Amino acid sequence: MRKSALLLIFCLSLLAFGIDHELTVLSFENEKLTFAVKPLYTQLGPQRAYIFTQTGHRLVKESSQGTFIFDVSRTDWVIPEVTGKNILHSPMTGTNPTVLRITTFREQPELFLFSDTQHNKRLYVILKIPKDWKFIKCTLQNSNFHSFTYSGYLYLYTDNPLKDGIHQITLDFELPYGMKKQLKRDLFILGGIANFLRGSTAPYIVEQVPPYQHLVKSGETLWSIANTYGLRIADLELANGLEDGSRIIAGTTLKLARVRFDSALTTVVINTMVARMAVYYNGFLVKTFPAAIGKSDTTPPGIYWITKKEIDPALYWYGEYIPPRSPINGLGTRFLQLSNPTYGIHGTTKPWEIGKRISHGCVRMLNQDVETLDAFVDVGTKIIVIRNTEPFPERLEDLL
């Protein structure tokens, strides 16, 4: 009897507020919104759905058994309009929620990583979560994460040892209107220290140079434009947000600027006396590698930065293009361009030359080693070239 009374009260409340359909957002991908409709009545026949937006009514793109897909581009909100009939042939039109805010689905969390080398390599996953999102869980290997909040950020941390190699971190969230979302990122773990796979881009400062802009003409390349203004290709790519500098279109206006990196968690030290390289993270030694260096001291001591990283690089030799993985392309499987365009760190097709003074100034590595380096360090990593007989210290500050 009591259950019947509660059910009656519930039904009356639905009638009072005009709620005939419950909506659940299932996904939002490429400006396509998918929601499911649950009728709160015994329906007669299929439902129909439309949405009203800032640009007018829109028809459904696809539908199947109470699930509807709409294009919601160029609008920040939609009003769903669902119609159906109950067994009494009465029209049913009310929906809950009555308005869907699309902007909340377009937002993305900010994600940062930090491994505390002074405290058992504790991994911190730092999140800036959109206002209407709710964090559910973090999954990485079999790690147990603890959490705390500070200054608007959510800090997740684990002391579990991490296995080296490529692994995926998964973050689960709950969004408004019942939507579930996962954020997945590939990580590269070296010596128990995690970084995003192929690193990230360290903070940098863009310093514009006269005449400040360049209108790309037919036949121009980024290389020719950079040479015209005394810039590096990487400067133009970073300053203009170009993912592939080999594809520029005539009529495009480029910002002319130099890029200066501020700091990165990763540092590489190259000792030309012993032909070895060391990778540091947050000032602590992670791993060392053998290398081949320039003959007759053509790899000069100094400080450089990694400005660009390439997979399967092509070789340009005195105007000749030599394609990637060609037997006569000696760059191997990776190329890390240094801030001095004359030099880079790359793989090799002649592994027997590693450990020798043999190059024209670049630093060569075994392909598997340069692939590890490329997978771990950031663009903007400081490269320190030294010349002494001392072993690499555990702490970078002891070297400097």
Q: Are residues 67 and 172 in the same domain?
A: no
> Residue 175 maps to which CATH number?
2.60.40
| Rg of the chain taking only CA atoms, in angstroms | 29
Q: What pLDDT is stored for residue 12 in this prediction?
A: 40
Residue type, 198: R
> Residue 98 maps to which CATH number?
2.60.40.10
Residue, of 326 and 143, whose pLDDT is higher: 143
- Residue-wise pLDDT for 153-199, tens only, equals 999 999 999 999 999 999 999 999 999 999 999 999 999 999 999 99
Q: Are residues 56 and 156 in the same domain?
A: no
Q: Are residues 89 and 116 in the same domain?
A: no
Token output for 109: 């969390």
- C-alpha distances out from residue 33 to 38, 60, 108, 388, Å: 17, 10, 16, 61
Question: What string of DSSP letters covers 292-308?
Answer: BEEGGG-S--EEEEEEE
Share the mean pLDDT of the chain: 91
- Residue-wise pLDDT for 172-181, tens only, equals 999 999 999 9
Q: What pLDDT is stored for residue 296 in this prediction?
A: 67
Token output for 136: 């559910």
Instruction: Assess whether pLDDT exceeds 60 at residue 261.
Output: yes
Question: What string of DSSP letters covers 106-127?
Answer: H---EEEEEEETTTTTEEEEEE
Lowest mean pLDDT among 68-72, 234-238, 292-296, 381-385: 292-296
239, 261, 283 - which closes a domain = 261
> Is the bond preceding residue 393 a cis peptide, omega within 30 degrees?
no
Q: What is the domain extent for residue 333?
A: 266-399
Q: What pLDDT is stored for residue 330 in this prediction?
A: 84
Q: Are residues 126 and 96 in the same domain?
A: no
Q: Are residues 35 and 128 in the same domain?
A: no
- C-alpha distances out from residue 305 to 189, 266, 329, Å: 22, 11, 24
pLDDT over 70 for what percent of the chain?
94
Cβ–Cβ < 8 Å for 64, 70: no
Q: Is 65 exposed, middle or buried (0-12, 13-18, 19+ CB in 10 A)?
A: exposed
Assign 14 a pLDDT band (cuts: 50, 70, 90): very low
Q: Are residues 60 and 116 in the same domain?
A: no
Q: What pLDDT is stored for residue 8 in this prediction?
A: 38
Quick check: is 5 in a domain?
A: no
Q: Are residues 289 and 365 in the same domain?
A: yes
Quick check: is 218 in a domain?
A: yes
Please tell me the distance from the alpha carbon of residue 194 to that of residue 166, in angstroms, as a whole number: 10
Token output for 238: 């970073």
Please tell me the distance from the alpha carbon of residue 397 to that of residue 395, in angstroms, as a whole number: 5
Q: What is the mean pLDDT of residues 21-43?
A: 96
> Residue 296 maps to which CATH number?
2.40.440.10
Please tell me the distance from the alpha carbon of residue 87 to that of residue 70, in angstroms, as a whole number: 28
Instruction: Assess whether pLDDT exceeds 50 at residue 308.
Output: yes
Q: Are residues 113 and 220 in the same domain?
A: no
Q: Are residues 316 and 386 in the same domain?
A: yes
Quick check: is 286 in a domain?
A: yes
> Residue 209 maps to which CATH number?
3.10.350.10
Cβ–Cβ < 8 Å for 53, 72: yes
Cβ–Cβ < 8 Å for 340, 362: no
196, 213, 242 - which closes a domain = 196
Quick check: is 9 in a domain?
A: no
Residue, of 210 and 244, whose pLDDT is higher: 210
- Residue-wise pLDDT for 200-235, tens only, equals 999 999 999 999 999 999 989 898 999 999 999 999
Query: How many domains does the chain fold into?
Result: 4
Q: How many CB atoms lie within 10 A of CB 106?
A: 12
145, 161, 196 - which closes a domain = 196
Quick check: is 169 in a domain?
A: yes
Quick check: is 24 in a domain?
A: yes
Residue type, 354: I
Q: Are residues 254 and 271 in the same domain?
A: no
Quick check: is 71 in a domain?
A: yes
| Token pair 């954020």: residue | 183
- Torsion angle in degrees (nearest 10) through CA of 130, 132, 135, 140: -40
- Residue-wise pLDDT for 321-346, tens only, equals 888 888 888 899 999 999 998 899 99
Instruction: Assess whether pLDDT exceeds 90 at residue 7.
Output: no
Token output for 58: 């829109």
Instruction: Assess whether pLDDT exceeds 50 at residue 5.
Output: no
Quick check: is 3 in a domain?
A: no
Q: What pLDDT is stored for residue 400 in this prediction?
A: 67
